[in-house]
Structure 1
């Protein structure tokens, strides 16, 4: 089991945003993290990647907590943020070189993988460009290339489809499927529920900082037969129930 979140209580101030959150992501599994704005998705992600410290509970990757060994913990994660983070002073090539150094990758193997990724996302002729001048979609592709350049065990992907053209969305989904087959675990936060329904193995629905429910689509359909068959129908039903309560 790659990611294990147990009884997590946490947030940004003394008042917790997350309230006893527990779920996992197994090896070779894509889990969709869904919920309304403010439900706690970004807060959960920030705890996983180590930007926030839990008030209570734990986050472990392959049995390692960040306090056990911060380098070992973080080198298991590749993160694709909703808003791309690039450095003004670095070219695309230098972003890739920095990623290789951070993850202690073999340069020859890493560049072979990078060349393939750059061609996939049509960036191969932009190695000497500064990504700060790219469009949002192109910067998002830089984040994707840097993430999938690594040998991460856990991929955290936050709203990956915003700003991507349809071809890039398809290329990303193919990459996700390939890494799943290789045994990597993926946690993906998204509001694009029709795509999530087709590709995710399980779903975790957050509401008001708590896990409202989780399971496969079939399990959710069985739990909420009145909601409809699609993930979108189930999500809207539970969200409305949560807002009314």
Structure 2
């Protein structure tokens, strides 16, 4: 298969829970290899709905989504095998240990035993979970459960990570470990689509941003591009976001 310039391509995506009332309207953006893109917006802007469409949990009303040049209809196994997902709320098997979750994920993605052992050891140390590896997930705190979801996504090493509000429940050390590791992952050529409300944090880690408002993209690009589109050069992302949202709400 020929090399593609985008890991993720979303083109003219419209969709939602009802054909008569779409949540998303002509959403188009790309994520390139080795790039982290921040998907930002107010609650209800369509961020999670966009992610659900990318993950194949919802079918578009219109438009097309490609991962590494593939659509789900062309190659469902290849499409899903290139994706890793960290949801906002941890979803774990209550009667499985942390180690069993990681082993299950590694097997599902075809990770070799040697790679699994090296990655799981590194991740458990990074997130300070060594002593919890044989604990049932039902015995973990919310923050630790979130760490398990993150560790499962990163033990697989897919080409594209879809990460929805990963900082909720994490302690400051966990947040720093996650951010540092995402930088490492990018350096290997993997890509990240990250949704977060903590704009002051992701401003320094994302190459580009997509600003959603009422299901439409009202700005996208680098921080400098966003500032130009907002007409307010030199401001931090948080202030640019507020300016764009206020302007978009008046339209």
Q: What TM-score do you get using the length of structure 1 for normalisation?
A: 0.97
Match of 2:18 among 13, 16, 20: 13
Q: For structure 1, list consecutive stretches of 5 or more residues without a partner in the other structure.
A: none
Say whether the 8 Å CA contact 1:205–1:214 is kept in structure 2. yes
SS of equivalent to 1:88: coil
Question: What is aligned with 2:143?
Answer: 137
Are the equivalent residues in 2 in contact too, given 1:77–1:154 (CA < 8 A)?
yes
Q: Structure 1, residues 126-147: CA drift from partner, whole Å, max 9, x if none? A: 2221112211110010011111
- For residues 87-126 of structure 1, the aligned pairs below 5 Å read 87-126=93-132
- Structure 2 CA distance, aligned partners of 1:143 and 1:10? 27
Render the CA deviation track for 1:197-236: whole Å, top value 9, x for unaligned.
Answer: 1111000000111111101011122232347611111100
Alpha carbons 1:30, 1:202 under 8 Å: kept: yes
Contact 2:224–2:233 (CA<8 Å) still a contact in 1? no
Per-residue CA distance 1:176-214 (angstroms, 9 max, x = gap): 000111101100001100011111100000011111110
Aligned twin of 1:3? 8
Which aligned runs of 4 or more in structure 1 are off by greater than 6 angstroms?
A: none
1:147 aligns with 2:153: yes
Which residue is equivalent to 1:200? 206
TM-score (norm 2): 0.95
Unaligned runs of 5+ in 2: 1-5
Q: How far 1:49 moved relative to its partner? A: 0.8
CA shift, 1:41, in A, is 0.2
RMSD of aligned alpha carbons: 1.1
1:47 aligns with 2:53: yes
